[in-house]
Chains A and B, each alone.
Chain A
């Protein structure tokens, strides 16, 4: 992936040297032309086109912000409700993610999700222990959200 980005920069500089004009506009045009070239040559690369990964990162960031706002509305409702009828609890959540940074990202996402907070990661890094503010009615919904998070993170780390 990094190789493709470097190659794209190299092609942009090549374009600038061919044009003998060294300003931002020429660079941007060269970069776009290089992108088209790399897209045309995609079958010679081992990995996928890097644009897809960039898109996955942007998607993940937007997901982060959306979840943060949803979580706040949720907490707002719990706090401002006159009657305190929440049922907190800790549940285990198995995860398929392997590397450290993926698990960190997942834990951060879960912490910013409505009503959940990561308390511990097991030593073998296969289970996350999550504290939920209201266990009965979130459990299923949360599991499905986790699926989408894990997918989004996997899309970033290993696109296929």
Chain B
């Protein structure tokens, strides 16, 4: 039983670390603010959530300590991360940051 639990915790932790790493790669590799924001706001969210989840499972199942703060942390990150991503890209657009050269369409430009 402990083996299964430990494997699960390790798996979640590694998955979270991997996703965070991929988010960092994405920020380096993708061409402009908006596409980078895709990587940062999605992969990093799920990565941190997985790390927190494995932390919660470790303390609950192995140490026997139920930490509700970690669960609250997961919920808060889940709610606030997409809003953060939206606000950054919105601020970028309104201060005139150009899209990548190969972008195919821009409906927001002829809005006004």
Chain A positions near chain B (C-beta within 8 angstroms): 64, 68-69, 71-72, 75-76, 78-80, 84, 86-92, 107-108, 111-112, 115, 117-120, 122, 129, 131, 133, 135-136
30 contacts between A and B (CB under 8 A): A68-B45, A71-B42, A72-B19, A72-B42, A75-B26, A75-B39, A78-B30, A78-B38, A79-B25, A79-B29, A84-B29, A84-B31, A86-B102, A88-B104, A89-B106, A90-B99, A90-B105, A90-B109, A92-B108, A108-B83, A117-B34, A117-B38, A118-B86, A119-B89, A119-B90, A129-B108, A131-B34, A133-B38, A135-B104, A136-B104
Complex Cα–Cα for A112 and B90 (A): 16
> Is A119 within 8 A of B93, CB to CB?
yes
CB distance from A132 to the nearest CB of B (A): 9
> Is A112 within 8 A of B82, CB to CB?
yes
Q: How large is the interface on B (under 10, 10 to 19, 20 to 34, 35 or more residues)?
A: 35 or more
- B103 interface contact, C-beta 8 A: yes
A-B pairs, top 4 by smallest CB distance, nearest first, are A111-B82, A92-B107, A89-B105, A79-B26
A87-B103, A89-B106, A119-B93 given; 6 more Cβ-contact pairs under 8 Å: A68-B78, A71-B42, A90-B99, A111-B85, A112-B42, A120-B90
Residue-by-residue, is B73-112 near A (CB-CB < 8 Å gives 1, otherwise 0)?
0000011001101100110011000011011111111010
Contact of A72 among B30, B43, B86, B100 (CB under 8 A): B43
The prevalent SS among residues of B at the interface is helix
Complex Cα–Cα for A126 and B26 (A): 32
Complex Cα–Cα for A112 and B34 (A): 14
Q: Which of B31-68 contact A (CB under 8 A)?
A: 31-32, 34-35, 37-39, 41-43, 45-46
- B14 interface contact, C-beta 8 A: no
B residues in contact with A112, CB < 8 Å: 42, 45, 82
A residues in contact with B31, CB < 8 Å: 84
CB distance from A102 to the nearest CB of B (A): 15
B residues in contact with A90, CB < 8 Å: 99, 103, 105-109
A86-B35, A119-B86 known; A68+B46 contact, CB < 8 A: yes
